[in-house]
Structure 1
Amino acid sequence: MSRLLIAVFSILSHLPLAVLQAVGVALGWLVYLSSPRYAARMRENLAQSGLATDAVSQRRLLRQAVSATGMGALELVIAWGRSPTSIARLVKNCNNWHIVEEALAQNKGIIFITPHLGNYDIAGRYLSQRLIKRPQPIQLMAMYRPPKMAWLEPLMNAGRVREGGLTAPATAAGVRMVMKTLKARQTTIILPDQVPGQGDGVWAPFFGRPAYTMTLAPRLAQMDGVEVILFFGRRLGWGRGFEVEIARLSEPFTGDKTTDGAKLNQAVEQLIRQAPAQYLWSYNRYKTPAGVAPAETPNP
């Protein structure tokens, strides 16, 4: 079955980007209009962010976000179905690649951090392809949370391991794989805005509201010879492709979990502000994981 699904995705992935995005917009609105809970969460998260200052701009941002979320879902067909070389041709520009080269020149392992913003999978495939084709090839290991729908996992991994890419599940064994990769001065990608499980996070503000935030990325950043680099894949106009933005972490992590959780969320917020309509506002970012005490409510 997995081979059949991979073959189907490979065929569909060669549809024009504009066609997939158009279908994605329709899908995005279908889900939004048919799921009151989904729609309410998206509206609530957007309002919480404060990125739209009045009712008119809130409605505009909501419409854009609904469409962008659907586009992102259909673009996964490309991210998982095409070769990294083919995907790289969709990236029309990459800003600040020199940050990556400077870290590699200093013989550092790199933790690439990207939230669910724009198309993180296509941007990740671009990084993987560009790193592996350097004169001194560097491998990229993508850390991922196994999906609830098990049939998706072979599709995800089939796309991510093409042309030298690596994957590691977000498990204890996967963390050991990532640590080994960083010690070898290779690179990894971590998505910092997924809600971690009990014991793997701290409460930290995210757009002014407590969100249970991973401690893994800041902890790995304390390893010797490791640098943290931020990036995301901005979606350009309809069918025009993508642009990869790369940035340094403004302040290094300290080793204090609470402080670093806040720093991590601040870094994510800064990326989101560059393309707010392209963030995955439908995600239940503020949920309380099983077994975790709720965030303390500040005294009035």
Structure 2
Amino acid sequence: MTLLFRLLSCLPLWLLHGLGCALGWVAFLASPSYRGRFLFNAKQAGVSWLSLLGAVGCAGKMVAELPRLWFGRPVRVRWDGDALIDHALDSGKGIVFMTPHVGCFEVTAQAYAKRFGVAGRTITVLFRPPRQIWLRSVVESARQRPGLLTAPTTLAGVKQLIRALKQGQCVGLLPDQVPPMDQGVWAPFFGKPAYTMTLSARLAIQTGATILVAWGERRPWGRGYIVHVRPFEGDLSADLTSASVQINQAMEAVIKAAASQYLWGYARYKAPKLNSHA
């Protein structure tokens, strides 16, 4: 499988995105449950699904671009708001990057590692290991690169994140990802209760790290990406439930601004599962 990924990584990004767009539409048309979830989430957010036709294809692009990002030649990346990172790093504090399921979240960590991580300010990204053993080995080998480390969604992984922040390093995670049971709180997300992780808030509160919101926008026709960085508005509450509401609101703002690249088919309102790693 690694060989297949390496072969696909040789294709130009515009072609991979074209294939991915077709894949996204096949999934949308062939799966009633996926299509229903997509439409429900869009309606819950007050967004007309007709304005989100591009988002159908973007879901497939997210999959198709991975071989190139993991094994291929570097892609073109433009920064928007990187001065916020420079300022945060100069303060000596760690940074908690919060990235919703918008655009290419894989490229945000890679772009940071290439520009800032190789200078000694490593970023550690929280990820949920794939269930398939063959895919797990591909992911682990692909994501290990200079300036970029990974931490699994386990107790050991959380400790790794805390150590990194206390050392003035950076961490990245998707705060709109549904956490396991007893690792989150119910908080409104576009007006509907959603089980929301408290880890991102706990990391910032416990270590005093700076919070930045970041996401990777796909440029059309395979012309690369724009990594947007924005400050977290307001002071994060010390109460985890209130902080989770604030974080959800920050994620909503990004999603509304980049609605055509949000994964509307993501099961954001699903019930949490027991943590098998506990």
Instruction: Measure the CA separation in 1 of the matches of 2:224 and 2:207.
Output: 37
CA contact (8 A) 1:6 1:81 kept: no
Opposite residue 158 of structure 2, the aligned amino acid is V
Q: Is 1:35 aligned with 2:31? A: yes
Which residue of structure 2 aligns with residue 195 of structure 1? 178
Residue 124 of structure 2 is aligned to residue 124 of structure 1? no
Matched residues in 1 for 2:201 and 2:268: separation? 19
Note the 1:51-200 alignment, pairs <5 A.
51-52=47-48, 58-61=49-52, 63-82=53-72, 86-87=73-74, 89-91=75-77, 93-134=78-119, 137-200=120-183
Tell me the alpha carbon deviations over residues 132-151 of structure 1, each in whole angstroms, 9 at most, x when there is no partner. 233xx211111101123232
Unpaired runs of 5+ in structure 2?
A: none
User: Kindly, what percent of the aligned residue pairs are identical?
Assistant: 39
Contact kept, 8 Å, 2:24 with 2:60, in 1: the verdict is yes
Distance 1:259 1:225 in 2: 17
Give the CA deviation at 1:115. 1.0
Which digits, 9 at most, give the CA deviation of each residue in 1:217-251, with x for residues without a partner? Answer: 00010124411111000111121111110011002
Q: Tell me the amino acid that sits aligned with residue 42 of structure 1.
A: F
Q: 1:263 Cα shift?
A: 0.5
Deviation at 1:32? 1.2
Structure 1 unmatched ranges of 5 or more: 53-57, 293-300
Map Cα deviations across residues 48-93 of structure 1 (whole Å, 9 max, x no partner): 11133xxxxx3231x21111111111111222223xxx43x421x2
Question: 1:291, CA displacement in angstroms?
Answer: 6.6
Structure 1 residues 190 and 291, CA gap change in structure 2 (3 angstroms): closer
Report the Cα offset of residue 170 of structure 1.
0.8
Whichever residue aligns with residue 50 of structure 2, its letter is R
Q: What is the CA-CA distance between 1:163 and the residue it aligns to?
A: 2.2
Q: Distance in 1 between matches of 2:133 and 2:145?
A: 20
- Residues 1:239 and 2:235 aligned together: no
Across the aligned residues of Structure 1 and Structure 2, the Cα RMSD in angstroms comes to 1.6
The answer for the alignment partner of 1:298 in structure 2 is none
- Does the aligned pair in 1 maintain the 2:121–2:147 contact within 8 Å? no
Aligned 8 A contact 1:80 1:155 in 2: no
Say if 1:205 and 1:262, in contact at 8 Å, map to a contact too: yes
Match of 1:47 in 2: 43
Instruction: Identify the range of structure 1 (253-262 vs 7-16) with the bigger mean alpha-carbon deviation.
Output: 7-16
One-letter code aligned to 2:23 = L
Q: 1:260 aligns with which of 243, 247, 255?
A: 243
| Letter in structure 1 aligned against 2:175 | P
- 1:116-139 Cα shifts (integer Å, max 9, x gaps): 1100001221111111233xx211
Alpha-carbon distance between aligned partners in 2 of 1:138 and 1:10, rounded to the nearest angstrom: 29
Equivalent pair of 1:45/1:282 in contact (CA under 8 Å): yes
Residue type at the aligned position of 2:76: L
TM-score, normalised via structure 2 length = 0.94
Answer whether contact 2:165 2:207 (CA < 8 A) is retained. no
User: Is the contact between residue 203 and residue 210 of structure 1 (CA under 8 Å) also seen in structure 2?
Assistant: yes
